[in-house]
Structure 1
Amino acid sequence: MLSVLLLGLILAPSALAVDMESGEQIFGVYCIGCHGGGGNIVRRGKTLKQKALERNGLASLEAIAHLVANGKNNMSAYSDRLTQQQIQDVAGYVLEQAEQGWH
């Protein structure tokens, strides 16, 4: 049981280092179609802007990674197309861009 707990800690998204360059590339392939510039062409209030992330309880690396992996409502899940590392990278990129105002 302890080994399962330790494995969970090792594989948890927060345990992975974020590669911003990889995150930017992944965003450009999988996300930009709906979320260019941090927006959302499908649901106006569900942008990737800092205030919207905070309002929707998504202003953390873990929350964004969970959403990318599992999807929600109109957003597809990407756990079948991206590795844990890639999910972590794109989540880190989104969070950094939100904090910088998507410049």
Structure 2
Amino acid sequence: MKRLLTLILVTLLFWTSTFNLSAHAVDITIGAKVFNENCAGCHINGSNIIRRGKNLKKNALKRYGMDSLEAITAIVNNGKNNMSAYKDKLSIQEIENVAAYVLEQAEKDWR
């Protein structure tokens, strides 16, 4: 019994640290809606109409260290360079949803 509890605890700690569980469950459908309403003007289909190389494709996200929920959430919250901050416009949940949507779409190559 003690081994089983230890195994469960180790598994939970590994899983939590590996996947950085958020306090909120993300909703990709809402993330898509938020993206289309707020982000698609500059990032249609994962592109970037302002700076072509800084797009939302998987390789670019990885190259610029933006390939995690935390990194995308931070840039959506605070903005950077030509990108506006959205922390005063979107809720924390909306930002987490849109970050999850961006990562999912990057994995699918925005198809």
| TM-score normalised over the length of structure 2 | 0.80
Q: 2:53 aligns with which of 45, 52, 60?
A: 45
**Which residue number corresponds to residue 81 of structure 2?**
73
Any runs of at least 4 consecutive aligned residues in structure 1 with deviations exceeding 6 A, and if so which?
none
- RMSD after superposition: 1.4
Distance 2:49 2:73 in 1: 20
**Which residue number corresponds to residue 14 of structure 1?**
22
**Which residue number corresponds to residue 90 of structure 1?**
98
What are the superposed Cα offsets for residues 7-63 of structure 1, whole Å, 9 maximum, x if unpaired? xxxxx9832211011000000000000000000000011100000000000000110
SS for the counterpart of 1:15 is: coil
Distance 2:99 2:39 in 1: 11
**Which residue number corresponds to residue 56 of structure 1?**
64
Bigger Rg over Cα: 2
The alignment-based identity, stated in percent, is: 58
